[in-house]
Amino acid sequence: MRKKNSIILWSIYFDSTQTRKGGRKVSKNLAVSSPKIEHLQRAAKRLGLQPEVNFEAAHPSCPWGKTGFLVLPKTESKTQTIKKVAKELSILLR
């Protein structure tokens, strides 16, 4: 699953219905309600990233829900990438 020089993003990182303890990694004002992996993929593409999508994976904190994840090439820190994707996602879904 892990690839060298890549970043994995789960939709739970951007979900405003989740708490920080529950897996959300962005602030409430950047989070959106129940984002789908397709939304993350569109946001990443708009940022010029080449996302690879795995639709069949489940986040470890909720193994019963197959939400999928994105694999992005690592061009900067994971935190910076998450913030950029969150900003683009909030523009797309608002």
User: Could you write out the three-class secondary structure of 29-94?
Assistant: CCCECCCCHHHHHHHHHHCCCCCEEECCCCCCCCCCCCCCEEEEECCCCHHHHHHHHHHHHHHHHC
Q: Is the pLDDT reported for residue 78 higher than 90?
A: yes
Q: Is the pLDDT reported for residue 56 higher than 80?
A: yes
pLDDT tens sequence across 12-44: 999 999 999 989 999 999 999 999 999 999 999
Predicted confidence band at 1 (pLDDT cuts at 50, 70, 90)? Answer: low
Predicted confidence band at 60 (pLDDT cuts at 50, 70, 90)? Answer: confident
Q: What is the per-residue burial (b if ≥16 Cβ within 10 Å, else e) of 63-92?
A: eeeebbbbbbeeeeeeeebbbebbebbbee
Class of domain 10-93: alpha beta
